[in-house]
Structures are given as structure tokens and as C-alpha cells.
Structure 1
Amino acid sequence: MSLHPQVRAVAQAGGVPPPLTTETLTAARIGLEASTLAEAGPGTPLTAVSDGDADGVPIRLYLPSPANPLPVVFYLHGGGWAMGNLETHDPLCRYLAALSGAAVIAVDYRLAPEHAFPAAHDDVDTAVAWLHREGERYGLDTGRVAIAGDSAGAHIATVAARHWRDRGKPFACQVLVCPVTDHDAELSDVESPGLRPQGLEFCWDAYAPAGVDRDQPDLAPGKADLTGLPPALVITAEHDVLCGPGEAYAMRLAEAGVPTVAVRYQGMIHGFFRRLARFDAARQAVAQVAANLRAELS
């Protein structure tokens, strides 16, 4: 399928960002946040939304209802480990909480290159440990916890899934949207106004600079032991350079005995998932993720 008409319209309207470089990173961060209202809409009203601190890691807690205790979904934003924050994914987290019926905890992990590997992974592990210790005080069910993320957030999510499997407190499920996988994964050959190979290379260099072993399991999840990981939903986009790597990782999970479903959204590009006001497919994909979470967290 060719690019979806809604994607072509965005590209024709000037929705293609300039190449990512050290010089353009600050502007890219500002632009990503500034575009949130236009890209994702004002956000779904919820029972309560509050900012908090998980042992030094900023989080935002979304409560879809006053029910107690609520299952929990950790959501990890994308942005190549170098962009994104609580604001850029706020409408997405609101919508996901409303549809899933679960509390959503968004983690504002530290960004590269100011904070290189393993800063983001460490922040997420800290937030998860905080939930297991303090969650009941907030009406959260620490026995029903999922993890989800898009792009680099999905990379962090699958690594966290392995960490907490090994610690004996596995997640109920994992949701990986357009995931970054291994640094040497063969990219899909697509022409797209979304993520480009140059931008992906910049993000890898920012988070795992020269001297860092990119083949270690915490950076190359496809090279890790995947047995015993929680059930996975992997969502890819047809016109995304990470489509092939994401589907290959889903197959690796399945071959390791992990219950895994992979779904490709036709005509879509990298980053479509948060763009609720632009793409019909974004709302459908969030609805699919929410239904998956309801089933796995029931």
C-alpha cells in the first residue's frame, strides 16, 4: 500500500522535520512539544491526572476512574532517547488510560546526549521499583502491571521486561509500538516522511556513543535470552524504516515461546501512534492496545 492520504497530506503541508544533528536537537525537542496539540489533540478528561516523584524520577499518573485498586500500565515515550517528555505524550496517555481502564504511569526518563546509556533504562527500573513499594498507597494493584512504549520507549520497555523477569516480578504483558531493536538490525527500505536512517543513527550515537558496547543485551534486546518474557503485542508501520526490525524481533519472541502478536498498520509511518488528531490509524491502534491491556490485566 502507498502512503495513506492522511500521511501524504501532512508531508505536503510541510510536516517533514529537518535532519537531526547536535545543532538542531534543541529545536527538534521544542518543536515536538509545541506540535502536541495539533498532532494529538487536547487530551481526554480523566478522573485525576497528577505529577509525582518516583524516587527522583518524574512521573505522571493518569487515573481513568475512582475504582480501587486499578491495574497499571507504565508508558515510555518515544523520541530516540533524545526527545520527548510528559507533555509530548500526554494526550496519548490520557486516551490509553480512558480506553484501557488502567492507571497509566508515564515516566519522564533522562534524555541523551546529556544522559547517555544506561540513564533512561535506570530511571525506568527505579520507577518500577517505586511502584512495587509504594503503589498500594495510591490505589494501584502492584500485582497487575504492564509496560508499553513507542520507538525508543519500546526499546526501553522490552529491556525492562527482561530485567523484571529476572527479578521475579514479571510484567503481565508488554506492548511495543514501532520499536527500536538492535543497532545492527537491517532497516526496511522505504521512502517516508517519518524517521530516516540518518536520524536513527544520530539517536544511537547520542545514547550509546563511541566506547559503549551496543551488542550487550540492554542495548541489543534481540541478542538477549527472551524465554519467559511476558506476552507481547508488537505494532509496526508499513512505511517505517523500523518495520522490518520490529517484526523480526516479534518473531524472535515467538520463537522463544513468548505469546506474541505482530500487527502492521498499512500506509502509516514511524511516530503515527501519538498523532491522534492527524491519523485515523492512531486512534484505532490505541484502541487495539487498550483492548489487549484490558485482556492481559483482567
Structure 2
Amino acid sequence: MATPTPLDPQMKIMLDVFNAAGPMFLRAETAEQARAKMRALLEANPIPPPAIYRVEDRRIPGADGEVAARVYTPEGNPPMGVLVFFHGGGWVLGDLESHDRVCRALANQAGCVAVSIDYRLAPEHVFPAGAEDCYAATKWVSENAASIGAEGTRLAVGGDSAGGNLAAVVSMMARDRGGPPIAFQLLMYPVTDCALDTPSQKEFAADGHVLSRADMEWFWKNYTDPVAEKNNPYACPLRAKDLKNLPPALVLTASHDPLRDEGERFAERLIAAGVKTTCTRYEGVTHGFVSFADGLDKGKEGQRQAADALRAAFAR
């Protein structure tokens, strides 16, 4: 058996702080209590978010009524490429605030407009509500890009964790439903399967590395019935029979993440289907590392790689 990669020293310091507060997600409690804990962790960060030229909150059409969206515009000359971003949080947690820093960084570094979508959350709104909101929002951005200083023909989708799942799903929906045309998909440690049977799911089953297998069981239970939807590609992209004709992709994974293997397997399947795909594993870090860029050099590296890939996709 290969010797496990040691934790990055900066990552270890962060984990020691996180673990001193107990498990990150309150699996035995209500969704709202878990959301409150996540908000408290975010509010405890004393570092100001990255400055950006303009931030605007809007209401745009979702699948069943309006959803909140936040538009980030960096300095530069419009029209710009546009990233539609879906936050992580297991389809249960997260909002516009939880991923504000990541969206600011990606918009600034990629020189693009970023539109963060506050899709409906489970368990109040189970699958496919959130996925359909994300598709509807992406369609709106494509059709109304000029109103936000963007160019609808240079459109990317992206997200982290459950948001990476939603970005992959929206890419498939757009292919299957005749649009909108998507130029690129950014998938950061994405959820791609409900089976939870990979080696990394077993290796990092316990608490202590930000996300555990028990967390994923809790998230899936809140989002949908995994048994009923296990072969639905809009829930489990890895189970899709056909991954051809999807947008080029960047898949980022973390060595100490239960989602590592399913993300890498999805990248392998994209490549086998003829989709231009880059997959990069960041060693010594955990799930969520891109969001930890304030104190983690590899988080900064992940943000830079993602931004460079977006910039290159928009240039094409």
C-alpha cells in the first residue's frame, strides 16, 4: 500500500482549529442549525474579502419563481466572459455569502463577470429543485448577458462540491435541452455519485478532514432518495450513460478528501467520451481547499489554475 501523502503544514494548522470546534457539520441536528454553524465559521474570518470593481445583488428567474443572484464585475472593458457559479454545501448549506470570496477571486483573476446563484436548498426543496434553478439561471444569464456587461457566447459554469455536481448537471441539461451553449465547466472537488464506495470514501470516512463519509450520507439523505435516483445522471453525473458533447472541463481534487476518487473517475469518463478535460489533484489538502486561500498557499494555487482555465476558455 502506498504511503499516504502527509498533510500540508498550513492545512494541518487549519484542521487543528476546525477540529477544536468539533465536527464541522451537525449531522444529528436540523439543516438550519448546520447552516447557523457554517455562518458562524465564515463570520469568524477577520480577513477582508478581495476588493472588486462592482458587486450587485439581483433577483433572476429560477425554475419556480425568482432566486437571488450576485453579479461580480472586475475592472476591464465589457463585454466580458461570464461564469455562472453554484456554491457548495451538500445542497443543504451555503448561500451567496459563503462563497463570496471565491467568486470575487475568480472574477478578478479570470477577468470575467461571475454570477453566483442562490438556488433552492434541501431538505425544504429536494432534487431536482436546486438543479433546475441552476439551469434556469444559466439560461437567463446566457440570454441577458449584455445587461450585466457580459457576452452570452462566452459562458462557463462552475462550482465546488455540490456546486461542482450542479455545474456538471447543468452542462448535461444544456446539451440535452438544446442550450444554452456552454464553453467550459469548472468542477472543484465535485460530488458525482451517491454510492460512497470508493477507496477515498473509505480512507476519509471519519471526521477530521473537513468532510466525512457520514457528512455525505447526511447530505444525500436530505437532497434526495439515493436508491431511487442512483441512475439519474442529473443527480449522479458519474452514472450517466453518455458524456459526449459536453463542454471542456477542469476538475480539481484534493488528496485528503472522500470525494477525491469520484471526481477523478468523472474526469476519466469525460476524457474517454472525447471531452477535453484537465484533472489536477492537489496533494496534502482537504475538501474545500480553494475556499481556504486566505491562509493556504495551495488554495491560492487552485484559484489561480481555475482562473487561468476560465481565461483561456473565454479567449477561445
The corresponding residue for 1:110 is 120
**Aligned residue identity for 2:313:** E
**Aligned residue identity for 1:109:** Y
- Provide the C-alpha distance between the structure 2 equivalents of 1:151 and 1:194, rounded to a whole number of angstroms: 12
What are the residue-to-residue correspondences of 1:1-298 with 2, within 5 Å? 1-13=5-17, 14=20, 16-18=22-24, 20-36=26-42, 38=44, 41-55=47-61, 56-166=66-176, 167-187=178-198, 188=200, 189-191=202-204, 192-209=208-225, 212-224=228-240, 225-298=242-315
Farther off after superposition, 72-81 or 214-223: 214-223
Runs ≥4 residues deviating over 6 A: none
- Provide the C-alpha distance between the structure 2 equivalents of 1:290 and 1:92, rounded to a whole number of angstroms: 11
- Percent of residue pairs identical: 38
* Higher RCO (CA < 8 A, seq sep 6+): 1
Contact 1:254 1:260 survives alignment (8 Å): yes
Farther off after superposition, 164-173 or 36-45: 36-45
CA 1:37/1:210 → structure 2, altered by over 3 Å: closer, same or farther?
closer
Structure 1 residue 244, shift from structure 2 partner: 0.8
Structure 1 residue 19, shift from structure 2 partner: 5.2
**Aligned residue identity for 2:164:** A
CA 1:118/1:2 → structure 2, altered by over 3 Å: closer, same or farther?
same
Partner of 1:184: helix, strand, or coil? coil
CA 1:170/1:50 → structure 2, altered by over 3 Å: closer, same or farther?
same
Contact 1:131 1:142 survives alignment (8 Å): yes
Taking only aligned residues, the RMSD between alpha carbons, in angstroms, comes to 1.7
- Provide the C-alpha distance between the structure 1 equivalents of 2:21 and 2:306, rounded to a whole number of angstroms: 26
TM-score, structure 2 as length reference:
0.89
Contact 2:76 2:111 survives alignment (8 Å): no
Structure 1 residue 37, shift from structure 2 partner: 5.0
Contact 1:38 1:277 survives alignment (8 Å): no
After superposition, what is the alpha-carbon deviation per residue over 1:174-198, rounded to whole angstroms, capped at 9, x for unaligned? 1111110111153313344221000
- Provide the C-alpha distance between the structure 1 equivalents of 2:283 and 2:226, rounded to a whole number of angstroms: 36
**Aligned residue identity for 2:9:** P
- Provide the C-alpha distance between the structure 1 equivalents of 2:44 and 2:283, rounded to a whole number of angstroms: 23
Contact 2:220 2:226 survives alignment (8 Å): no
- Provide the C-alpha distance between the structure 2 equivalents of 1:217 and 1:76, rounded to a whole number of angstroms: 18
TM-score, structure 1 as length reference:
0.95
Contact 1:58 1:107 survives alignment (8 Å): yes
CA 1:217/1:42 → structure 2, altered by over 3 Å: closer, same or farther?
same
Structure 1 residue 33, shift from structure 2 partner: 2.2
Unaligned runs of 5+ in 1: none
Structure 1 residue 230, shift from structure 2 partner: 0.6
CA 1:283/1:37 → structure 2, altered by over 3 Å: closer, same or farther?
farther
Farther off after superposition, 107-116 or 213-222: 213-222
Partner of 1:62: helix, strand, or coil? strand
